[in-house]
Structure 1
Amino acid sequence: MTYRPTSTARLTLAGTAAAALAVSAVLLPGAGAATAAPASPAHQAKAAAALAARLGNRAAGSYYDAASRRLVVNITDPSAAQQVRDTGAVPRVVRYSTAQLHTVIADLAKQARIAGTAWVIDPRQDKVVVTADPTVTGAKRARLGAAVKALGDRAALRHTASPFKLLVAGGDAIWGSSVRCSLGFNVTVDGAPYFLTAGHCGNASSTWSDSGGGAEIGQTVDSRFPGTDYALVQYDDSSSAPASEVDLYDGSTQEITGAADAYVGESVERSGSTSGLHGGSVTGLDATVNYEEGSVSGLIDTDVCAEAGDSGGALFDGSSAIGLTSGGSGDCTSGGETFFQPVTAALSAEGATIP
């Protein structure tokens, strides 16, 4: 029988005075004004991204507020409020623009690129949140603390109880020469079948099978880690038509019909053979994690839990592919933080599409 793998996320490898206010202001529509039903969160996020490009330094990120079912768009110039409302979003005046917070990230990259740390812009707080795991001690902890303190209220430091790590361990998805990894999403390149997984998986093996000691089903043709974290594997059987779906671990699957960019506040799910199906939300974008094995940037930060054995698999929102599991901290008993490689970036780099 022809092997027809599915994208089951079997995760086994693991200016203005107003703008200067300390308390930001949300500029709500006037009382009694007619309010149209909000568009879908994804539509609002897409419109906000286009608006941010037009606003330039006056834009300061955005996030979806589930209670109001509206996207909140941060701005540093109150005169841009109506442009935000015109997209169906809610404007919020904050102190720091995205460009200003990116200078914070650049400073951290120069002064505090220490294994066991991570940082991400948090649009809800309008600052860069820096996290240190328990391995950051002594002189390294003092160095990190000094670097964050020098950034003033543009950054905040917090600590996590467990180390940041690539989620490397057992499971039952795809097997390399010395590791077991996770198939993320099936894709096509020039009509031929491939799949995406984590780059640290691709670095570990050039060939893959669907069982321990089984026959080869594919070969790694490109692998990117550190820096980013994705790999492209080509199926040996060029005539195969792998299903594009994710295992929901209740006997059913979710069809995957395309890919989408994540947005802060988005509700997402992660499917994995180690810990099953778990959900949560996107808490940040363009995150940097300094693993012991190397630094990765441009990641999606979430509060979705994951465990050893969950690397490489699928983060999704309904029928949209969102990310590939990279690593994180914590577990699915006590909770945790997990980072994902954006699927759209991997697809673009490889010239691939979701079937």
Structure 2
Amino acid sequence: MTHRRTTGRRAAVAGTGVAALLAAGFTFQTANAAEATPTAAPHTLTAPKAEKLAATLAGHLGKEAAGTYYDAKAEHLVVNVTSEKAARTARAAGARARVVQHTLAELKSARSAVAEQTTAIPGTAWGVDPVSNKVVVTADRTVKGAKLARLTAAVEKLGSKATLKQSKGEFKPFISGGDAINGSGGRCSLGFNVTVGGAPAFLTAGHCTEAIDNWTDADGNALGSNAASEFPGNDFGLVKYSSSVSHPSEVDLYNGSSQQITGAADAQVGQTVTRSGSTTGVHDGEVTGLDQTVNYGGGDIVEGLIQTTVCAEPGDSGGSLFAGSSAVGLTSGGSGDCSSGGETFFQPVTEALAATGAQIG
């Protein structure tokens, strides 16, 4: 990564930040997650309704809940459970149930165990995957030799609870995305327009606001100054507008139109999402993981990220991830590109809003 920040055109919507893109996608294993035979057809649900049902069931199922994901093709919520009794409860609520081998507590313990190695090895990412019912650890192409051997041994020690994947790309932060915002010596992109106490502001990536304090649009007109910044750990920044520039709550679709954003939502594994960025425009993909941790190197470890199959390239970082009219994430990092494909990590917008006291709009 250089310290020059690069982003896209106008300053009304999408965002940039870190786009270290993961080239290799997940190949989900289901050998240890045999699905129980359903007694009733699961309900057809939109992703937001599936998210609400997942939250409700988590409270009812307690320790027998082992994660959920959204089957976008069938439009079903899939609920992992550890007993047939819990499976009946999930089915009665309208979900599709799977009786799996590992509890969520076991997987979180395995995640903590492998973190002892991954936090010391740059170029790694790790998190619980509800589809495979495992902890998936990914190593980029820079992890080799003794480091790869150490990582392999740590994963193998966890047996069926974990699996190791290797990426052809390299995890590294980029800077740019949606609509262009510029600063001294660099360029990023605006994520989402928000208000704080009624005053207009916007969210972008935290690694952008860590490097640049004052922002202008693509034409050099003043936009505003940083009000909050978190990176590493999290990856979001808040910039308060200091000018009268128009700041609608929408995302640039790069085809002469825009998508209105009316609120924010948490991501759901299996959900279809869209990313807008200044380098590659608009691309779709699927959420493949939640609460992911990525070690970008140099001590820059970011936690709690959304992982997707959406491609991105340098200049897309910080860009907006959305689903319909809901803001979902800010581009953080990954590997790959939009010619050969890739995988991207995003900072959840709901967390950024809660931390800064901002509201979409």
Same fold by TM-score greater than 0.5: yes
Contact 2:76 2:96 in 1 (8 A): yes
Tell me: CA distance 1:310–1:5, structure 2 relative to 1, closer, same or farther (3 Å): closer
Match of 1:161 in 2: 168
> Paired residue for 2:287?
282
After superposing the two structures, state which structure 1 stretch, 285-294 or 317-326, moved more: 285-294
* Pairwise CA distance, 1:86: 2.7
Q: Secondary structure of 2:211's match?
A: coil
Matched, 1:24 2:33: yes
Give the alignment of 1:172-211 within 5 angstroms: 173-211=180-218
Which of 43, 51, 54 is matched with 1:45 structurally?
51
Q: Which amino acid aligns with 1:139?
A: A
Q: CA deviation at 1:111?
A: 2.6
Query: C-alpha displacement at 1:54, in angstroms?
Result: 3.2
Tell me if structure 1 keeps the 8 A contact 2:234–2:303: yes
How far has the Cα of 1:320 moved from its partner? 0.3
Amino acid at match of 2:279: T
**2:360 partner SS:** coil
Alignment of 1:315 onto 2:321:
yes
Indicate the RMSD between aligned Cα atoms, in angstroms. 2.0
Letter in 1 for 2:36: L
Q: Would you say 1:346 and 2:357 are equivalent positions?
A: no
Q: Distance in 2 between matches of 1:301 and 1:102?
A: 17
**Cα distance in 1 for residues equivalent to 2:45 and 2:166:** 37
The one-letter code sitting in structure 2 at the alignment partner of 1:221 is A
Structure 2 segments unaligned to the other structure (5+ residues): 1-9, 20-29
Determine which of 253, 256, 281 is the counterpart of 2:258.
253
* Number of residue pairs matched by the alignment: 340
Q: Counterpart amino acid of 1:264?
A: V
TM-score (norm 1): 0.91
Displacement after TM superposition at 1:25 (Å): 2.9
**Bigger CA radius of gyration:** 1
Matched, 1:67 2:73: yes
Match of 1:225 in 2: 231
Q: Share of identical aligned residues, percent?
A: 57
Give the whole-Å Cα distance in 1 for the aligned partners of 2:182 and 2:195.
21
Tell me the CA shift for residue 50 of structure 1. Answer: 2.4
Name 1:17's counterpart in structure 2: none
- 2:175 and 2:240 map into 1 onto residues whose CA distance is 22
Question: Are 1:176 and 1:208, in contact at CA under 8 Å, matched by a contact in 2?
Answer: yes
Q: Residue 279 of structure 1 aligns to a residue in which SS?
A: strand
1:26 alignment partner, SS class: coil
SS in 2 for 1:203: helix
Q: Identify which range, 50-59 or 262-271, moves more after superposition.
A: 50-59
Structure 1 residues not aligned, in runs of 5+: 15-20
- Corresponding residue to 1:235 among 212, 236, 241: 241
Q: For the Cα contact (< 8 Å) 1:271–1:314, is it kept in 2?
A: yes
How far apart are the structure 2 equivalents of 1:342 and 1:167? 18
- The answer on whether the counterparts of 1:175 and 1:181 sit within 8 Å (CA) in structure 2 is yes
Identify the structure with bigger relative contact order (alpha carbons < 8 Å, sequence gap 6+): 2
Letter paired with 1:25: A
Q: What is the one-letter code of the residue matched to 2:185?
A: S
Tell whether the 8 Å contact from 1:44 to 1:88 is kept in structure 2 after alignment: no
Pick from 145, 150, 156: which aligns with 2:157?
Answer: 150
Q: Deviations over 1:129-175 (max 9, x none)?
A: 11001111222111111111111111100111010111236996000
- 8 Å CA contact 2:126–2:137 kept in 1: the answer is yes
Partner amino acid, structure 1, of 2:159: G
Shift of the alpha carbon at 1:202?
0.6
Shift of 1:11: 3.5
Kept after mapping to 2: 8 A contact 1:330/1:336: yes
Contact 1:13 1:181 in 2 (8 A): no
In structure 2, the CA distance between the partners of 1:285 and 1:37, relative to structure 1 (3 Å rule), is closer
Aligned equivalents of 1:177, 1:56: Cα separation in 2: 51
- 1:103 aligned onto 2:119: no
